[in-house]
Amino acid sequence: MDHGSVDQAPEILLSRFDIEQRVGGLAAEITRDYHGRTPHLVGILKGAWVFMADLIRHIDIDVTVDFLGITSYGSSPHSSGEVKITKDLDSSIEGREVLIVEDILDTGRTLKFLEEVLSVHQPRSLRVVTLLDKRSRRIVPVQADYVGFEIADVFVVGYGLDFDQKYRQLPDVHVLRPVGSR
């Protein structure tokens, strides 16, 4: 694997076992909260698809799924807040109980954008589940309804999360530090 400008042996922040256990817990909460209803899970591509694939397999009520593709401009680890839609939803969310599935909340700009874009289509309800939350980095005051793990201000990759489109396939969540920083 070409690590480019990054550390050769990134440290594990969350193991696949930690993640599996927490994802099961989130799914149990969602199953309980949406009892008798059929939530419509909207996974945000590309970062959230690994999380979403595991999450839905632990949810014990009917769900439907769709994906919204977005991209932030550039490959910088610090998001500019400018977001572009690369894949629109396939089906209408009007009147649906929409649950946005995100990989990570950082400044909150992306989620703010998503909430604005989706609420225009008048879902019955709009909630958010995120695997990771860097709460200390928040610039826009948004919050998720379900949070897997609150993490410190570090750049993480793996379990769907990338740096410059790489490392998404790692089964654990790793901290990526610039070369020479330790």
Q: Which residues bind Mg ion (CB under 5 A)?
A: 47
From 33, 62, 66, 106, active-site residue:
106
In the sheet that 83-87 helps form, which strands lie side by side, from edge to edge? 83-87, 64-72, 40-45, 97-105, 125-133, 146-150
- Is 106 a catalytic site residue? yes
26 binds, among ligand IMP, Mg ion, none (CB under 5 to 8 A by kind): none
Phi, psi (rounded to 5 degrees) for 50: -70, -45
Contact at 8 Å (CB) between 43 and 15? Answer: no
Q: Which stretch binds ligand IMP (CB under 6 A): 15-23, 50-58, 114-122, 155-163?
A: 155-163
CB 139: neighbour CB atoms within 10 A? 11
Sole binder of ligand IMP in the list 43, 108, 148, 158 (CB under 6 A):
108
Sole binder of ligand IMP in the list 47, 123, 148, 158 (CB under 6 A):
47
Q: Could you give the CA distance from residue 148 to residue 95 in angstroms, rounded to a whole number?
A: 27
Residue whose CB is less far from ligand IMP, 55 or 110: 110
- Dihedral sign, Cα of residue 74, residue 79, residue 82, residue 84: positive
Q: Which stretch binds ligand IMP (CB under 6 A): 22-30, 31-39, 58-66, 100-108?
A: 100-108
User: Which residues of the shown chain bind ligand IMP in the complex (CB under 6 A)?
Assistant: 47, 79, 103-111, 155-157, 161
